[in-house]
Structure formats: structure tokens, C-alpha cells
A and B are shown apart, each in its own frame.
Chain A
Amino acid sequence: MTELNELYQEVLLDHNRNPRNFKALDNPSGEIEGYNPLCGDKYTVFVRVNDNVIEDIGFEGAGCAISKASASMMTDAVKGKTKEEVDEIYEDVHRMLTNSSNDTDAVAKLGKLAALSGVAAFPMRVKCATLAWHAMRVAMQGENDKISTE
């Protein structure tokens, strides 16, 4: 696989073209706008947490393929999960994105999210991939606010 195909994997491009859960929620328990001033990526992540579980999640906004696909995959990955499970997924994804010596076992455990692993080789783009994840984590606390990668 070339570096290009490793970064822009088919799964990632598909999520970019057809983002999942690409919608606002009517009565979210938390809603956070995440902004990456470097790229201008801007997304709002909506969550509805009920009884410690992410009952529904959606996002809106625009940005590069990596940020959008990562946001889309994130919504798929955390929907229906408990806060503790979400924390664990988040930790694993974060490790994958910031550790370029990819531990293959840990990446395999991430399933579809492993399609984001190519980003680790591009330090300038890691913030694109983590943007919606950060927003989701803050939104889960029931906050309504804006956050920035800077």
C-alpha cells in the first residue's frame, strides 16, 4: 500500500463522502462546537446521554476528509456505549493517533476505527482526526460550549 492509500483508506473516504449520523439532535444533553483554527475545520457534536449511555449522537459542520471521516466513525463507534466504554475507546484511538510505532494488536482491537491509523504518520493532521473526539468527550459532560484545538 502506498502512503497515500494508507492515509486515505477507502473506509475513510467513504465516511467523508457519506458521513454517518450527520445531523443535529433535537434535545441533546450536551452540544459542543469544536474548531481547528489551523485548518478551519468546524463541527458541532450533539449527544444525548441517558442513564450513563450515549443514546444518540450526531454532528454537523465542515472540514477536511480526515476530520469529517473521523467524526463520522466516532459517532458510529460510541453510539449505545456507556461512558466507561467510550473512555476506553477514546484512549485507544488517541494512542493510535499519537503513537507512530503502531502497536498492531491494539489497532486491530479498534476494528473499523483502525482506518484512522495512517494519520499517525502525519503529525500536522492528528488534530484534524481528534477534533470531533474531543468535542464528544466534553459534550458528554452535559456542556454547551465551544472548544478549540489551540
Chain B
Amino acid sequence: MKTSILASQETGNTKGVPGADDFDVQRIRADFPILQRSVRGKPLIYFDNAATAQKPAVVIDSVDTYYRSMNANINRGVHYLGEQATLAYDDAREKIREFINAEDAREIVFVRGTTEAVNLIANTYGRKNIGKDDEIVITAMEHHSNIVPWQLLCEATGAKLRVVPITDDGELRLDEFEKILSERTKLVSVVYISNALGTVNAVKEIIDRAHRLGIPVMIDGAQSTPHCAIDVRRLDCDFYAFSGHKLFGPNGIGVLYGKVKFLDALPPFQGGGDMIRSVTFERTTYKDSPHKFEAGTPNISGAIGLGAAVDYVSCIGMTRIAEYERYLLKYATDKLAEVDGIKIIGTAKEKAGVISFVCDDVHPHDIGTVLDLDGIAIRAGHHCTQPLMERLGLVATARASFSFYNTFDEIDYFIDAVRRMLKVFKR
């Protein structure tokens, strides 16, 4: 695959933002077929990347190629295609291992997405190690997928959910986190980057503090994996979850990373084919991780597509992606802050490319519809973070979330559209 994104003559207009110039966004955009289309007669401006990301042609092609030339079930047939498909699936696992710098491919479990990864840990690690009056610690800014599985576990076991509070700016209260931890704490599960506010949490510090007390930590990496370089060994997290579709890969594929010592000790998640060593009606023995957790025919094309996505972003470089997105965020934040009547929600010091905002005169859903008429896709709603919305005294926000294929020109157009919208509602 050739996707070397070197500086060229035809860089996007970077509005004089120093450092953003050598990022050839126009060449990157050409890799994403959907970005060439228009919506409601206007060029598509896709600012809903926190919900799901668009796919480069290499990802779409890899899925297409798999079905056209390689489709077979894996880990069973002795025939040629079965072997090819198995190799491709294993190769995808290896690519992901390298991408997040895990030590061993056995630590990479393919799942449907972040949601399934959290449910897997709640149902295996949780059922095995968490009992009555034990505590699970999460934060006030979790996505529902890092709340509800724990609530179900608490209902079944009598364990308790403890919630680390946040400041009005949307930062975690680490002082409170420290106080909440106790010998009853059996697991900490924290979102790395908030999908609703963009806050980048100090997860390294959280992990270190929990580890000092011998408490394992799970990280919800749904938003961090597409936007910064991830090194699970440096973080030293015990579990890490992310979704392929937010990382420019297909839907219905995601990853649970777990340290081998934990995964080996866990019971299976679901029972079925592919996860067993031997079955008799008296006794069944299971394979080792990751196969123990991958019952049934997995999403083979999804894994292959995710492998292609990881190759693609690795070629550009996650560090460069993060840097470019930081420029976009700063540019957009400064511009939006100048607009009278708009209030930005989530003003943490460390933020990723997400801007949530509200407006006194216009409900977020009306903002979403008005911008849609200009071809701009943003999200409006509670972002699957209802407890966070309640904490902030809101029912919903409008949210623009960026990716490395977005441009400064698009942000200008978006700001103009917001200004036009305010005029309509005030007329």
C-alpha cells in the first residue's frame, strides 16, 4: 500500500496555522470515496467522527477482495481458501498487536466493538472476581457502554458502582478518585477520551494510582485509538477496548486487549464452536486466549478491514494525525468562541477534536437540522452519556467532532453556517 503523505504543492489551506502546512490533507481526502459526494446539494462536511469515521478506499477494497477471492471459514477447513482466510485473519490480529504495542497476539481478542468488550470483561472478570459489597469505579463522563454492563453486574452480584466526579470544565477530580479507591475496589474502568466533551483523561496517572493498590484498570479507548498513538505497554492498562468503525475500519468489529495473565485466568464469555479444545457431554475444555473468547464464526472480513485501516493510519502516523487534529481543534474552538450566543461545553485543558456546544436560543436538534441543510453532519443529543448531561444540567448538546481528513476551510464554512443559523432563529 502506498499512502506516503508527504508535503506537496497542493496542501489544504491551513490558514497560516504554523505546523499544519506539511500535512497534505487534500491527498488524504482523495483516499476517502465518501468525502467526494455532496449532501443536499452541498459538499459533504463530515463532523460526526466521534460517532463513526469514514473509510478509506483501501479498507473498502480489502473487504471486497476478501469476499471476491478468499472467502472461507477459518481455523477449520484444510482447503486452500480456508488456509488463506485463516492467515489473513491472524495477520490482522498481528497488525493490531503492533498498532497498540501489545506484547503478544494472544492479548488481542476480536469482538464486535467497545460495547461487547466491556460486556465481555463484566461477564468474565466481573463474574469471577467481583462479589457482594465489592466496588467498581467508573467516572461521571462514561459512555452508557461503560456504565450499563457494570450495573448489570452489580444487580447480579450485589457489588456497588462508584463514580468519580468531574469539574464544571469536564475534568476528572483525581483527588476524589484517590479517596474512592479502597480495598473493596476490584476494578477501575475509565474512558480515555470523552466522546461528549473531548476531555483527554490522565489515564496513565489513574492506572498507576490504582496499581499501587493492586487494582486492575480497564480503559475505554473508543475515542482515543483513532486520535492518538496508543501503547498499552507504556500505559500498563490491564484491559483496553476499542471499536473498528471509529478507527476507519468496518462496522461490527472491535478489539479487546487484555494482559495474558488476566485473559488466561478468565472463564469463557460465550460457548460454541472454535473456542473449545475438546467437547464431550461430560466435560468441555477450552482453547487459550484469544480463541477462548471468540466463539463461533467471527467477523473475518471485519478483522481484515480493520487490519487495512490500521495499516493506513500507521502510514500517515498517529502522532502526525494527533498533531494536525490539535490544530483543527484550536482553530475551531477559537472561532466558535467568538460567536455570540454559543457556549462551548467541555473546556478541559487537555482535549481531543471534539467540540460540544449549546445555544440559548436554539435547541441542539434544531442546530443539527439547520447545519444538515448546509451539508454539515454533526451530532445532536445526549451522546449516550445521559448521567454526564444531567451533571452538566443539560439534556443535549450539539457536537462537532473532527478527524484528520477535515480541513480549516470546512471549519470556516461551519462557523458561517452557525452564524446564519443564529440569524434565522433570532429574526
Contact = CB atoms under 8 A, between A and B. Distances in A.
Given A13-B425, A38-B381, A40-B382, A8 B395 contact: no
B369 A39 contact: no
A77 interface: no
B427 to A, nearest CB: 7
A66 interface: yes
A4 B381 contact: no
Nearest to B370: A4
Contact of A65 (B380, B381, B425, B427): B425
B370 A40 contact: no
Contact of A62 (B362, B381, B395): B395
B200 interface: no
A84 interface: no
A64 B366 contact: yes
Interface in B403-427: 424-425, 427
B381 A125 contact: no
A13 B365 contact: no
Interface string B110-139: 000000000000000000000000000000
B279 to A, nearest CB: 41
Contacts of A10: 427
A64 B40 CA distance: 22
Contacts of B396: 39-40
Interface string A1-15: 011110110100100
A65 B373 contact: no
B373 to A, nearest CB: 5
B369 A122 contact: yes
Contacts of A5: 424
Contacts of A124: 369
A43 B373 CA distance: 27
B363 A8 contact: no
Interface residues of A, number: 22
Interface string B377-388: 000111000000
Contact of B366 (A40, A42, A62, A66): A66
Given A8-B425, A40-B381, A63 B373 contact: no
B10 to A, nearest CB: 33
A8 B424 contact: yes
A65 B362 contact: yes
Q: Which of A2, A4, A66 has most B Cβ within 10 Å? A: A4
Contacts of A38: 381
A66 B362 CA distance: 11
Given A38-B381, A40-B381, A125 B363 contact: no
Contacts of A97: none
A116 B363 CA distance: 17
B425 A64 contact: no
Nearest to B372: A122
Interface in A1-54: 2-5, 7-8, 10, 13, 38-42
A13 B396 CA distance: 20
Contacts of A13: 424-425, 427
Contacts of A8: 366, 370, 424-425
Given A8-B370, A64-B366, A66-B365, 14 more contacts: A3-B373, A4-B373, A7-B373, A8-B425, A13-B425, A13-B427, A38-B381, A39-B365, A40-B396, A64-B365, A65-B362, A65-B363, A124-B369, A125-B365
Closest 3 CB pairs of A and B: A40-B395, A64-B363, A64-B365
Interface of B: 40, 362-366, 369-370, 373, 380-382, 395-396, 424-425, 427
9 contacts: A40-B381, A42-B395, A62-B395, A64-B363, A64-B364, A64-B365, A65-B425, A122-B369, A125-B369
